[in-house]
Structure 1
């Protein structure tokens, strides 16, 4: 029997580094992964939303998955993203299994607004297609009822539920109903903003966008939350997290392009190129981001022993 455990703590979501001509940069991906690992993330999720899954060819997807597994080399769990077109999702699940991934995060189906039975058929087809562990992602076109989620819990491959919808009434009832059968993951935009609320419901895990460029801030915030250090939480929210979140909300697509901008600002070799329909960060917003990160790194320097970054 497969021993299953869902990733916990702070989850790292590397980007899909692109060269100026738009081609995939695997060296940049390796650098992104090493930076995350050297700064304490407890798992990596490759080719997901931040990794522009929607814009990858299946060959590029395979390259990213294989590169991640080779680079990580067993140091932490590696999950992939699968989703969209059902045939593509099944092929991605197969690629992930053959490459040796630990599991996958199931992103929503494309365009269709499905019924609950149609959505269950979609999710079950993917989950049952391999023996890898699976995490559901509640957002956009994939919104489950409690009854549907409970039905999916009968599948042993299902290990986690990631919420990107923010329906706290649903989350409260789901946690109460299902308990520790699943790992509960906060997947809201810039999750540090809402993590205190989720923590009170029993969510102990979250995906961190800022871990790609200031991971020590994410770690510092999460440790303060766990210790009930409200002063540190307040200061980090005021000085760093909410200002970044304010820029992120100004334009659709910044969920991806602002991460690359932050990484570029601190000198990580991933570039700022994104694929349409995502647009790059506007210069004025880039300059604001640079000011925020300059002040943040001065006030909250990375601990000795972690990989250092500085604004360039």
Structure 2
């Protein structure tokens, strides 16, 4: 089997886990979510990850979400699944994902434990060595690998094609990227990554996960292109008038990083209710109305182009 050792690059799509009235995965709504992201121009689909409420999925629901994403994508863009938890579960999810036809997987932080660097090395090694699928590591929370460990892992495993950073230690990021260079793709995975992307592009991160793209993909693309093209005026205008106001709402309640996405999709008429699983909470009416006003203002100020509108 020949595997292209290349991580997705650009704006990375992270679908939600739409729930029906019985609280089950709504496959039709999920398919619409994935299709919307692809038609919106996103470079890849990362299914059953943080935005997809990985923490709250049963195994059969995980299978369903991966099956839907792979089917809808149909090879148009690569599909990566989320794996993690204890080592045995993570390996089982890798094998299931491989069976279902994904292109790779993102390793989410292990539960709770603060591991030593050698422990994190063994955690990643135990998972990655079980499959030839491409793997992306994730620096976040209790799993922050440093240069020596990352260098060992990439030297030993060609399957490792990227590092996603959700930690925000720019000194560490510079050390990693300056030493390892283009051996990996560097992905900005900070909460509401658009907020920090101006700093990340300056040190070599050309890709990021976009929650906002679930309901305004044309804004994600407009902003991303402005950053890469050096259009500081447009990038700053979007930053001040759209991103910061949304981010203020997102920070108002714990768990809004997930539920605010669904609220935005609901406002845009996508078939996703403003429902999440505990411990996340749905968006409160006051914040929902604030988000609705921001979206309406944004669409008036930066309307979707006609050719884009026909795709969405």
Q: Same fold (TM over 0.5)?
A: yes
Q: Which residue of 1 aligns with 2:128?
A: 127
Local SS of the residue matching 1:32: helix
CA contact (8 A) 1:261 1:286 kept: yes
Measured after TM superposition, the shift of residue 126 of structure 1 is: 1.1
Unaligned runs of 5+ in 1: none
Local SS of the residue matching 1:161: strand
For 1:228 and 1:149, locate their aligned partners in 2 and report how far apart those are by CA, in whole Å: 31
CA contact (8 A) 1:302 1:308 kept: no
Measured after TM superposition, the shift of residue 85 of structure 1 is: 2.1
Local SS of the residue matching 2:18: coil
Measured after TM superposition, the shift of residue 129 of structure 1 is: 1.2
Residues 1:29 and 2:14 are matched in the alignment: no
Q: Which residue of 2 aligns with 1:260?
A: 262
For 1:309 and 1:44, locate their aligned partners in 2 and report how far apart those are by CA, in whole Å: 17
For 1:153 and 1:208, locate their aligned partners in 2 and report how far apart those are by CA, in whole Å: 26
Residues 1:43 and 2:41 are matched in the alignment: no
Q: Which runs of 4+ in 1 moved over 3 A?
A: 307-310
Local SS of the residue matching 1:131: coil
Local SS of the residue matching 1:45: strand
Q: Which residue of 2 aligns with 1:291?
A: 293
Measured after TM superposition, the shift of residue 170 of structure 1 is: 0.3
Residues 1:162 and 2:164 are matched in the alignment: yes
For 1:307 and 1:263, locate their aligned partners in 2 and report how far apart those are by CA, in whole Å: 16
Q: CA RMSD in A?
A: 1.2
For 2:190 and 2:303, locate their aligned partners in 1 and report how far apart those are by CA, in whole Å: 26
CA contact (8 A) 1:33 1:68 kept: yes
Which among 192, 195, 213 is matched to residue 194 of structure 2?
192
Measured after TM superposition, the shift of residue 309 of structure 1 is: 10
Q: Which residue of 2 aligns with 1:9?
A: 10
1:194-246 Cα offsets, whole Å, 9 max, x none, are: 11110010111000010000000010001111111111011101111110011
Local SS of the residue matching 1:274: coil
1:41-98 Cα offsets, whole Å, 9 max, x none, are: 0100000000001100111101110111011100000000001122211111011100
> TM-score, with normalisation over the residues of structure 1?
0.97
CA contact (8 A) 2:40 2:311 kept: no
For 1:78 and 1:9, locate their aligned partners in 2 and report how far apart those are by CA, in whole Å: 14
Measured after TM superposition, the shift of residue 251 of structure 1 is: 1.1
Once the two structures are superposed, the pairs formed by residues 138-287 of structure 1 within 5 Å of their partners are 138-154=139-155, 155-287=157-289
> TM-score, with normalisation over the residues of structure 2?
0.97
Measured after TM superposition, the shift of residue 307 of structure 1 is: 3.7
Unaligned runs of 5+ in 2: none
CA contact (8 A) 1:16 1:47 kept: yes
Aligned residues: 310
Q: Which residue of 2 aligns with 1:87?
A: 88
